[in-house]
């Protein structure tokens, strides 16, 4: 049985992704060696998960089965996204290669579904490929199902 976790936001508050070791976390996620290193997830599964994560925020088109698209790279450099979309794109880069960051103070800027998806994905990555598959079953939707859906307002845009 996996260890019991507290609130996902509390877990994210304790999490730091080291940029020089993108799969290293500060000791809160389990691993087979007990080092806090995330369990092995292959690049294809990681890309599917990141694409689905961005899809929750209506940004799935920015990632492919091979990684970030040209549009994602351009938007990352241009810094022209609304704050909630910047948070999600930065999280995608952090989960992809460690070059982005997940800043706890910005998680609260996300709408409920995006915040939950991000929190749960970080936890699933710590638990390994089977947990990521379960996360994908919950959050990955066929493209035609999400094409017409309006994005939920972020907390930053609420009064």
pLDDT in tens, 69-115: 999 999 988 878 999 999 999 999 999 988 877 877 788 899 999 99
Residue 156 falls within a domain, yes or no? no
Residue 19 falls within a domain, yes or no? yes
Residue 74 falls within a domain, yes or no? yes
Q: What domain range includes position 81?
A: 8-141
Sign of the C-alpha dihedral computed for residues 72, 142, 95 and 11 taken in this order: positive
3-state secondary structure of 24: strand
1-5, 50-54, 121-125, 139-143 — which is least confidently predicted? 1-5
The answer to whether 135 and 118 have CB atoms below 8 angstroms apart is no
Residue 105 falls within a domain, yes or no? yes
The total number of residues shown for the chain amounts to: 159
Alpha-carbon distances, residue 124 vs 38, 44, 77, 138 (angstroms): 9, 15, 29, 12
pLDDT higher than threshold 70 for residue 142: no
Q: Could you tell me which of 28, 54, 40, 21 has the C-alpha nearest to residue 123?
A: 28
Average the pLDDT over 45-59 and give the result.
96
Q: What residues does 68 pair with on adjacent strands? A: 63
Residue 149 falls within a domain, yes or no? no
Residue 157 falls within a domain, yes or no? no
Confidence band for 39, pLDDT divided at 50, 70 and 90: low
* Residue 120 structure tokens: 């749960």
Q: Could you tell me which of 97, 121, 92, 91 has the C-alpha nearest to residue 22?
A: 97
Can you tell me the distance from the alpha carbon of 119 to that of 152, in angstroms, rounded to the nearest whole number? 17
More confident residue, 98 or 14: 98
Residue written as token pair 């996360």? 135
Confidence band for 149, pLDDT divided at 50, 70 and 90: very low
Q: What residues does 132 pair with on adjacent strands? A: none
Total count of domains within the chain:
1
What is the model's pTM?
A: 0.68
């Amino acid at each position: 049985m996996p260890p019991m976790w507290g609130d996902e936001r509390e877990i994210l508050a304790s999490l730091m992704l080291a940029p020089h070791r993108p799969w290293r976390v500060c000791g809160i996620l389990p691993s087979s060696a007990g080092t806090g290193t995330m369990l092995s997830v292959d690049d294809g599964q990681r890309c599917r998960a990141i694409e689905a994560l961005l899809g929750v925020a209506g940004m799935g088109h920015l990632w492919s089965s091979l990684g970030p698209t040209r549009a994602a790279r351009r938007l990352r450099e241009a810094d022209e996204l609304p704050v909630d979309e910047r948070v999600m794109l930065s999280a995608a880069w952090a989960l992809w290669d460690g070059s982005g960051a997940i800043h706890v103070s910005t998680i609260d800027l996300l709408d409920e579904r995006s915040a939950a998806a991000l929190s749960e994905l970080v936890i699933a990555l710590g638990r390994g490929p089977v947990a990521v598959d379960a996360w994908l079953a919950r959050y990955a939707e066929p493209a035609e199902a999400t094409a017409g859906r309006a994005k939920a307002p972020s907390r930053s845009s609420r009064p």
